[in-house]
Amino acid sequence: MGDQIDEIDIRDTAAHEGQVQTMRGSRQGVLKIVNGLDQDVTVNIEATTFEDESLTEPYDRATETVSAGAIGYIEVGESWVFVRPVAQCASSPGSGTLKMVWDFK
């Protein structure tokens, strides 16, 4: 299905939502997290099986903490219709960009 990319400049400790993506027709989704921030970041995958593209009642499916300057991955399975990454830092980053890239298969 091709890559779906979010790039976020985080400068606070608030939760930052990525774009909602559909997994229809996919057996697996892998989120590659490229942490170019100067702080660690925790990324949570919210997902739903409902026809709820806005994810108003999501399930928390997977969480990964990625160190500053590192790369991490989160995998989700085919049972989800919509998925969205949510990124948050414990301390406010001073520089850098967080890049999250979905690959659906």
The answer to whether 73 and 35 are in contact (CB under 8 A) is no
Structural domains in the chain, CATH included, are 3-104 (2.60.120.680)
Does the pLDDT value for residue 3 go beyond 70? no
Tokens of 22: 């559909």
Does the pLDDT value for residue 75 go beyond 70? yes
Beta bridge partners of 100: 6, 33
pLDDT band at 90 (very low <50, low <70, confident <90, very high): very high
User: Nearest 5°: CA angle at 47, between 41 and 53?
Assistant: 115
User: What residue type is assigned to position 40 of the chain?
Assistant: D
The answer to whether 36 and 19 are in contact (CB under 8 A) is no
